[in-house]
Amino acid sequence: GLGTVSVNGPAGGTVLVEVCDIGDNNDTRLANVSARNEVGTGDNILIAGFVVTGADPKNMLIRAVGPGLERFIGAGFLADPLLKIFDADNNVVATNDNWSPSLQPSFDLTGAFSLTNLSLDAAIVLTLPPGRYTAQVSGADGGTGQAIVEIYELP
């Protein structure tokens, strides 16, 4: 089923939330994970780690949404997110600054909410071999604000 984790506290800090499927049923898979947070500068960017498992590469949709949050949160969103995908050796394997409307069919396929054409949100579809990765979201222009990073496995 669907679930949400919310972490709150009296002071700022770094929080790690992990979701793992360790069941015996091979039909079970985690199809999406997302996290919303304040994106700062330097070491205070939004980072989400994920693992591609199995023997075969998987098609992934990864998004960094800032302007697309306006309809949900009003002001305070990251105006121009920059998305970078790193492998376990800290090599950049993909980067995106502004998404392409040609990705809308992938949004529809995964159930991801639509983005406004020509928004400065970031999104990329890529095929990743099994391994460990991080999706890192920062301000393309050095800006700060709320953003969400979303990682979907495409069917």
pLDDT of amino acid 22 = 45
Q: Which two tokens stand for residue 12?
A: 């700022």
Q: Model-level pTM? A: 0.85
Q: Which two tokens stand for residue 154?
A: 């495409």
pLDDT of amino acid 136 = 98
pLDDT mean values, one per 10 residues, the chain (155 residues):
61 56 57 90 95 94 97 96 98 97 95 94 98 98 96 93
- A 10 A CB-CB count for 106 gives 18
Are 145 and 39 in contact, with CB atoms under 8 Å apart?
Answer: yes
